[in-house]
A and B are shown apart, each in its own frame.
Chain A
Amino acid sequence: MAWDWEFTINEVLPQLMEVVYITISATLVAYLVAMVWGLVLAFARRSQFRPLSVAAYWFVQFIRTTPPLVQLFFIFYVLPRYGIALTPFVAGVLGLGIHYSTFLSEVYRAGIESVPKGQWEAATALNFSPVQKWKTIILPQAIRPVIPVMGNYLIVMFKETPILSAITLVELLGKAQIIGSETFRYVEPITLVGIFFLIMSYGASLLFQRLEMRLDLSKK
């Protein structure tokens, strides 16, 4: 089957454009969930209060070692039985966000552990409160070296968004599939989706590279 430019530009592209924002917003919101919840998990893991740190440990282990699709099905199909009915978008960003939060929590942990002990001591000596210590001294230094890894997870998660079509959220790939099943032409929509992911992922990685360079202390 030959590539049909007219079909591509007049039909596939506009229809895909309608759902691009879903893929992008799902990625960004899910990533926000992952960043925030990941930090919460990292703190819980470090807690002096044993039960909390143990609970966080097992939560991370459990979520990390089970497929995100199972977690999504659980949130979308099982939770409503217990009175928690979520829209596909909310269920999707929660599912993906929580799944990736477990990876990010480990990334944060590595970053936090890379901050030298002397920094904590200097912060204590200057009488910063525990919250100020984290906010102004420790986290800014902990995040910097792990920015490339965090960027990597954003891209991995972005590429994972097509699984959201499994819980009826029509994003790019889901839309392409619909176009294909309606027109019996799969080449153009699927190819466009691939190109779209390529452009976005590459763009995101360039952004993270620039961010990394801007924050690189050795270049100051």
Chain B
Amino acid sequence: MSAEETQTATLEKEEETQGTEKKEEALPIVRYRKVSKSFGENQVLKEVDFDLMPGERVAIIGPSGSGKTTLARLLMTLEKPTSGTIEVDGRQLWHKEVKGKLVEANEKHLHEVRGDIGMVFQHFNLFPHMTILRNLTEAPVKVLGLSKEEARERAMGMLEKVGLTDKAKAYPANLSGGQQQRVAIARALVMRPKVMLFDEPTSALDPETVGEVLDVIKEIAAEGEMAMMLITHEMSFARDVSDRVAFFDEGCIQEQGPPSKLFVQPESERLQSFLSRFNLGEENSQ
């Protein structure tokens, strides 16, 4: 298949899978094709096809255990798909092409492709033995090869963005959960990924600190430079920041579309019953 044909095929596929998405000429930055994942007997993802366009912000909602988190973890290479392929910016992630055949990728290949992806975890996972500043500069220096000064500058700029410049010399243990998560967001951002994954970034937070973290994410989303995959249980947040919402249940995308449609007129019964658990009715009528 020539490159042109591939592109045409891709575009057709896009229209198929995301008909409601505004048409863009660019190719998807992330592409899941028939991706399945099983843990023993338990199949968490069932032949998922999913695309993410450059700069697109997709909220992924659904009940716990529906496979949302696994979807992100496969892209971050924390988990290996049982079958199917994932492409990042036109390159195979878990596979390598050798003589026209796809073979399993080695760590070197993963290292090359993974650089485009960043992730924010539910439990922050800051490095407890490093200061906040060092949490932010360590990877830029060691992985990206930045000089210490460059990394420091970039890190301080990012800390300013999340409003924590005064904590540069503190250790993670001295920060509140919300502050830690803001640092974790900054730490992922200094790597300048093309795709950012947020895996339930506010689920482990005290209710009073959820807002500050969501505000930071909203601010980043508003810049619109990176593609974002937001796995969240905060429905009003999902509605406010996303271009598209995908509803996950039982290992598949059951329904997807722009938030204005998905939250207002959910088609499937499953989504209707899922949404009925959240107090969105009032806001929806606006």
Residues of A near any B CB (own CB < 8 A): 116, 118-119, 121-122, 124-130, 132, 136-137, 140-141, 144, 217-218, 220
Contacts and interface: CB of A to CB of B under 8 A. Distances in A.
B240 to A, nearest CB: 25
Contacts of A136: 138, 142
Given A122-B121, A220-B173, A128 B142 contact: yes
Given A127-B143, A220-B171, A122 B107 contact: no
Given A125-B76, A125-B117, 4 more contacts: A119-B127, A127-B139, A128-B139, A141-B128
9 contacts: A118-B121, A122-B127, A124-B114, A126-B187, A127-B111, A127-B139, A129-B143, A132-B143, A141-B129
Interface string B125-158: 1111100000000110011000000000000000
A128 B139 CA distance: 7
Q: Which 7 A-B pairs have the closest CB atoms?
A: A122-B125, A118-B125, A126-B139, A125-B119, A220-B171, A127-B143, A127-B114
Interface in B10-47: none
Contacts of B77: 124
Interface of B: 76-78, 107, 111, 114-115, 117-119, 121, 123, 125-129, 138-139, 142-143, 171, 173-174, 184, 187-188, 191
A127 B108 CA distance: 11
B123 A118 contact: yes
Given A217-B129, A217-B173, A220-B171, A124 B76 contact: yes
A217 B77 CA distance: 30
Given A124-B78, A125-B76, A220 B127 contact: no
Contact of A218 (B143, B173, B187): B173
B171 A126 contact: no
Nearest to A140: B129
Contact of A127 (B78, B127, B173, B191): B191
A126 B185 CA distance: 12
Contact of A126 (B128, B174, B191): B191
A81 to B, nearest CB: 44
Given A125-B188, A218-B173, A220-B173, A132 B128 contact: no
A141 B173 CA distance: 14
Contact of A121 (B115, B125, B171): B125
Contacts of A125: 76, 78, 117-119, 121, 188
Given A128-B139, A140-B129, A121 B174 contact: no
A15 to B, nearest CB: 47
Contact of B128 (A124, A129, A217): A217
A129 B139 CA distance: 10
A96 B139 CA distance: 39
A125 B191 CA distance: 10
Nearest to A215: B129
Contacts of A128: 139, 142-143
Contacts of B191: 126-127
A128 B143 CA distance: 6
B50 to A, nearest CB: 20
Nearest to B170: A220
A124 B123 CA distance: 15
Nearest to B116: A127
A115 to B, nearest CB: 10
Nearest to A132: B142
A130 B171 CA distance: 24
Contacts of A220: 171, 173-174
A196 B118 CA distance: 57
Contacts of B114: 124, 127
A218 B77 CA distance: 32
Contacts of A121: 76, 78, 121, 125
A140 B129 CA distance: 8
Nearest to B172: A217
B125 A119 contact: yes
A218 B172 CA distance: 10
Contacts of B76: 121, 124-125
A217 B78 CA distance: 27
B43 to A, nearest CB: 22
Contacts of A124: 76-78, 114
